[in-house]
Amino acid sequence: MLFNVPVIPDEKLAATLNRHASSFYSCHFSLYAADVHDGRHKHRLMGTDRWIEFLRSVRIAKKYLLLNSRSHAHGAYFDPDHLRTVIQTLRSMLSAGVIDGIVFADAYYLQAISDAGEDEVSQLEAIPSVNCMLDTYDRIASMIDFISSTRFRLPETLILDRSLNRRLDALTEVSARCREMLPAVKLELLANEGCLYHCPYKLTHDCHISMVNMGQALDTQRINRDLGCMRTLQRDPSHLFKSPFIRPEDVAAYEPYVDVLKLCGRTQGAPFLMRVVDAYLHGKHSGNFLDLMDAMDGIAEWLYVSNDRLPADFLQRLTSCSRECRTCSYCRDLIESCAKPKGISLERL
């Protein structure tokens, strides 16, 4: 199994990735520009020329720029100055050899860039974000049709919906159809996000992040803590086992279906990313399982889930789950046997 890993501007992380470059199919990265957004909060800015120079030091074969904001302001679609900035950035990255494609979630924005671009976009793959939720071949075929109508190249990799991590029958079907109809395309799954299964908050959460990046005053952490997924997990931590993650120990089980696992966590910092990369490269993690989950850092502050104590049939049980949670105590029993509080959390009270 190969991996798709985040790159952030950190020398130690880059050195770690370079040492294991043969294990990585690709890497993905943000732009750190003030007015060009992706699907995460923007915590820092960085000059594009400086960032390009750093990316040149990363020896991973394929590199993808994240332009995967769920939505954009009106100007992003029609402002010539904004679109010119994006195209110039793509041109500079192509000249430096640090980009093979872009990851998108907003089809309007991809079309706008396609219309504004010339030779630049025709050299770049357009990769649908995991947030496009490609969980059937019909969805995939429709997305391929859309991309083929733009100037962008068709994707050489497709990241499938998170839910397929837990639905192996559906994953088997989607994988088989893709192998038949799109034999040259690599298939990916997202391993360590830690979002709720079929999260009811996901689409709105992505929109909230877009709104913050567009300058609106919105406390997304408070919304999640008081009204959303963090509230759910704080009240009943057993819900974390319903998250469609893939543990390092279970990677081999997915090799018949996909070629690449995507590792996420680019806003969590270099120590987190190096811990995650090490665990998945070695196929094991001893310690708090939550320390590998991108979206569960708030839960990891007060809950310790022993990865070593999770049972040998863990994956088999979760991938054969009936979803009849009201009559099943399996996840609650796991919390009792494998988890313990790390201390009192005032936010949990």
pLDDT tens digits, 8-46? 999 999 999 999 999 999 999 999 998 899 888 888 889
Task: Enter the CATH code of domain 2-198+241-288.
Answer: 3.20.20.70
Residue 349 confidence (pLDDT) above 60: no
CA 246-307-167 angle, to 5 degrees, is 25
For the chain, first and last CA: distance in Å?
42
- Amino acid at site 97: G
pLDDT tens digits, 237-264? 999 999 999 999 999 999 999 999 999 9
Question: Is residue 130 packed enough to be buried (19+ CB in 10 Å), middle (13-18) or exposed (0-12)?
Answer: buried
Pick 155 or 233 by higher pLDDT: 155
Report how far residue 271's alpha carbon sits from residue 93's, in angstroms, rounded to the nearest whole number: 27
Q: Residues 294-302: what's their mean pLDDT?
A: 92
Q: Residues 171-177: what's their mean pLDDT?
A: 99
Q: What pLDDT score does 216 carry?
A: 85
pLDDT band at 71 (very low <50, low <70, confident <90, very high): very high
Report how far residue 65's alpha carbon sits from residue 303's, in angstroms, rounded to the nearest whole number: 34
Per-domain residue ranges of the chain: 2-198+241-288
Q: Which of 100, 11, 3 is nearest to 53 (CA)?
A: 11
Query: Could you count the other beta carbons within 10 Å of the beta carbon of residue 329?
Result: 11
The whole model's pTM is what?
0.94
Residue with tokens 């408070």: 222
Residue 58 confidence (pLDDT) above 60: yes
Query: Could you count the other beta carbons within 10 Å of the beta carbon of residue 221?
Result: 12
pLDDT band at 282 (very low <50, low <70, confident <90, very high): very high
Q: Treating both helix axes as pointing N-terminal to C-terminal, what angle do 270-282 and 11-19 enclose, rounded to 10 degrees?
A: 10
The phi and psi torsions of 85 (rounded to 5 degrees) equal -60, -45
pLDDT tens digits, 179-234? 999 999 999 999 999 988 999 999 999 999 999 888 887 898 899 899 999 899 99
